[in-house]
């Protein structure tokens, strides 16, 4: 799943490589996929995309907004998998869920693994789409201050009980995060995934806010996670500290064996010494 750092990396690369290219042919997938959401029929998508020019793409949380000028915006949201650029003459993947072929012979394909939105909106209407409309601040937004974050925690305390992992991964409370980056954030903050947010001390709130901002910025600076590919099929430069790959290995801080649990929709790796339960 592309999280915010991958969306920032991919849109940045699209702007360097694809901006200004004119669509010769746009196609929704040649491989039907139950969990790919589109708001257009294939023929309609093809008709609307043809002849339009790629504008400046932006990342918002786990969503990418790519203008097809004039008048339209292609929205790729909650995707994971491959979003790849193909030089003129290159062989395209056998299966894809979205294809844009450009008049210069180059192409872009999107192939998602689990699910994802691939939608074409009239410009401006994308802002009304569920999940984009009302999206909470992401860790790279200037609104994501400690004051804002602490207020969010206070607001959540009025509702159902929630853990730190729940805060980081559920309902896009912190837009752009997902299960991958969240594990490193919890390690850096020294917090157990099940730690109740109601029991965060003021100092732990500070540490957690700082870990969120620093980790997301670092992953972006390194071009995304090494377990995701960029626009050119190259892995990102950020090696995760806590992942299924590092489970059972020694913690880089203290040498304790890294544990892996299934918790809140997905595995979660943590160091039982650096991230003790019930503190």
**Interface ranges with Zn ion (CB under 5 A):** 251, 253-254, 256, 271, 273-274
Q: Which is nearer to Zn ion, 189 or 251 (CB)?
A: 251
Shortest Cβ 201–Zn ion spacing (Å): 20
Q: State the minimum distance, in angstroms, from the CB of residue 237 to Zn ion.
A: 24
Q: Is the dihedral of CA 243, 135, 6, 94 positive or negative?
A: positive
C-alpha dihedral, 138 to 139 to 145 to 146, nearest 10°: 120
Of the pair 63, 270, the CB lying nearest Zn ion is at 270
Taking the complex as a whole, the smallest distance from the CB of residue 238 to Zn ion amounts, in Å, to 19
Q: Which CB sits closer to Zn ion, 198 or 254?
A: 254
> How far is Cα 224 from Cα 208, in angstroms, rounded to an integer?
21
The distance of closest approach from Cβ of residue 241 to Zn ion in the complex, given in angstroms and rounded to an integer, is 10
Cβ-based nearer residue to Zn ion, 79 or 274: 274
Tell me whether residue 114 or residue 254 sits nearer to Zn ion (CB atom).
254
Measured on CA atoms in the order 90, 13, 101, 119, is the torsion positive or negative?
positive
Q: Minimum Å distance from CB 257 to Zn ion?
A: 9
Q: Which is nearer to Zn ion, 151 or 276 (CB)?
A: 276
Least spacing, CB of residue 269 vs Zn ion, in Å: 11
We find the least distance from the C-beta atom of residue 189 to Zn ion, in angstroms, to be 13
| Residue 24 or 273 having the CB closest to Zn ion | 273
| CB-closest chain residue to Zn ion | 251
Q: Report CA torsion sign: 72, 78, 79, 83.
A: positive
β-pair type (259-262, 23-28): unpaired
Of 50 and 245, which has the nearer Cβ to Zn ion?
245
- Give the relative orientation of helices 202-221 and 146-157 as an angle to the nearest 10 degrees: 120
In angstroms, rounded to a whole number, what is the distance separating the alpha carbons of residues 117 and 39?
A: 9
**In the bound complex, what is the minimum distance in angstroms from residue 268's beta carbon to Zn ion?**
15
Q: Name the CA radius of gyration of the chain, rounded.
A: 20
């Amino acid at each position: 799943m592309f999280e915010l750092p991958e969306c920032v990396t991919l849109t940045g690369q699209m702007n360097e490589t694809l901006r200004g290219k004119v669509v010769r042919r746009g196609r929704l997938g040649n491989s039907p996929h139950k969990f790919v959401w589109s708001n257009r029929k294939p023929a309609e998508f093809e008709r609307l995309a043809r002849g339009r020019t790629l504008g400046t793409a932006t990342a918002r949380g786990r969503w990418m907004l790519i203008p097809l000028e004039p008048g339209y915006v292609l929205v790729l949201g909650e995707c994971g998998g491959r979003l790849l650029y193909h030089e003129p003459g290159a062989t395209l993947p056998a299966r894809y869920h979205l294809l844009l072929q450009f008049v210069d012979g180059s192409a872009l394909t999107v192939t998602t693994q689990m699910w994802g939105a691939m939608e074409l909106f009239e410009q401006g209407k994308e802002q009304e789409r569920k999940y984009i409309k009302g999206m909470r601040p992401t860790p790279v937004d200037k609104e994501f201050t400690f004051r804002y974050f602490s207020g969010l925690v206070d607001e959540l305390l009025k509702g159902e009980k929630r853990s730190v992992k729940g805060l980081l991964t559920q309902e896009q409370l912190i837009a752009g995060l997902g299960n991958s980056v969240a594990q490193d954030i919890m390690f850096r903050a020294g917090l157990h995934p099940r730690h109740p947010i109601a029991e965060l001390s003021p100092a732990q709130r500070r540490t957690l806010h700082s870990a969120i901002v620093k980790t997301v910025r670092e992953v972006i600076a390194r071009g995304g996670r090494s377990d995701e590919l960029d626009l050119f099929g190259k892995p990102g430069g950020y090696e995760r500290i806590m992942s299924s790959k590092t489970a059972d290995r020694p913690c880089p801080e203290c040498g304790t064996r890294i544990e892996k649990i299934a918790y809140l929709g997905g595995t979660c790796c943590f160091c039982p010494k650096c991230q003790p339960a019930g503190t």
